[in-house]
Amino acid sequence: MKIHREGYLILLITTLISVGIIYGAEYLFPYSEVIRSIFVVLAIVLFVLVLQFFRNPNRFTPVNDNHIIAPADGKVVVIEEVEETEYFKDRRIQVSIFMSPINVHVNRNPIAGMVRFYRYHAGKYLAAWHPKSSTENERTTIVVRDNQGHEVLFRQIAGAMARRICCYVEEGMRVQQGKEMGFIKFGSRVDLYLPLGTKINVKLGDKTISGESVIAEFSE
């Protein structure tokens, strides 16, 4: 299992804390094997929880110019027609994927093409499922245009637990479908805004796999 680079420092700190818990229990409770064992288990659980959060499994993208690939692991929580007010300023289909703390948190490009727009917005830390999280939370907005002229907007949105969004793209960069574009730490959400008429291949409650699940198809 590969570990994402965003986790290196946190895993080092977690290791030191876990070792400190174990040695602290040995010092404070030298005559109670039961209590020491409880602290050892707690230290191991803490380390494993953090380790699994930063896992970075290999993904095999079914590259197709007509497909829109899931940018995140998680559950589809929104599918609706909305007004997109930051870039398109017109009606779009919003598809939102919620990432729980147990999901892989690597984000991937839903389509290939040129990054036409990038903005970072500082903001609040409302729960990721909250309707206003898309416009009020800490977030990034990225728009990619493919060779056929389709444009897809997607947002990384911080949640109540998340306190750092990492994004590795910038305006003018060419990106590949399914390749890594960012990471959000400790629970969050990704929204996509697709052209009207796009064929949606998922329904509410469906689970997605970033870089692999085909969540939608362009109509032309």
The full DSSP string for 109-155 is -SS-EEEEEEEEE--B---TTSTTHHHHBSEEEEEEE-TTS-EEEEE
Contacts of 82 (CB under 8 A, 6+ apart): 91, 92, 93, 94, 193
Structure tokens at 166: 């990492």
What is the domain partition of the chain in residue ranges?
5-53, 67-217
pLDDT at 125 over 80: no
Q: Which residue has the higher pLDDT, 185 or 150?
A: 150
User: What is the Cα–Cα distance from 189 to 103, expressed in whole angstroms?
Assistant: 11
Q: Is the pLDDT of residue 130 over 80?
A: no
37 is catalytic: no
Higher pLDDT, 208 or 99: 208
Q: In whole angstroms, how far apart are CA 205 and each of 15, 76, 79?
A: 35, 5, 10
At the topology level, CATH places domain 67-217 in Glucose Permease (Domain IIA) (2.70.70)
C-alpha 70/C-alpha 213 separation (Å) is 5
Instruction: Please give the C-alpha separations between residue 128 and each of 54, 98, 156, in angstroms, as whole numbers.
Output: 19, 7, 10
- Catalytic one of 18, 96, 133, 188: 188
Residue pair 216/68 in contact (Cβ under 8 Å)? The answer is: yes
Dist. CA 55–CA 140, nearest whole Å: 22
| pLDDT category of residue 186 using cuts at 50, 70 and 90 | low
Q: pLDDT band at 129, cuts 50/70/90?
A: low
Q: Tokens representing 14?
A: 């977690």
Q: Which of 70-79, 88-97, 120-129, 172-181 has the lowest mean pLDDT?
A: 120-129
Which pLDDT score is estimated for 161? 55
Which one of 4-8, 37-41, 200-204 scores highest in mean pLDDT? 200-204
Rounded average pLDDT over 131-149: 81
pLDDT for res 118: 96
The amino acid occupying position 119 is: R
| pLDDT range class, residue 10, cuts 50, 70, 90 | confident
Query: What phi and psi values does residue 104 have, to the nearest 5 degrees?
Result: -65, 135
Looking at residue 7, its pLDDT comes to 76
- Report whether 139 contacts 126 (CB < 8 A): no
* Two tokens, residue 48: 């494993």
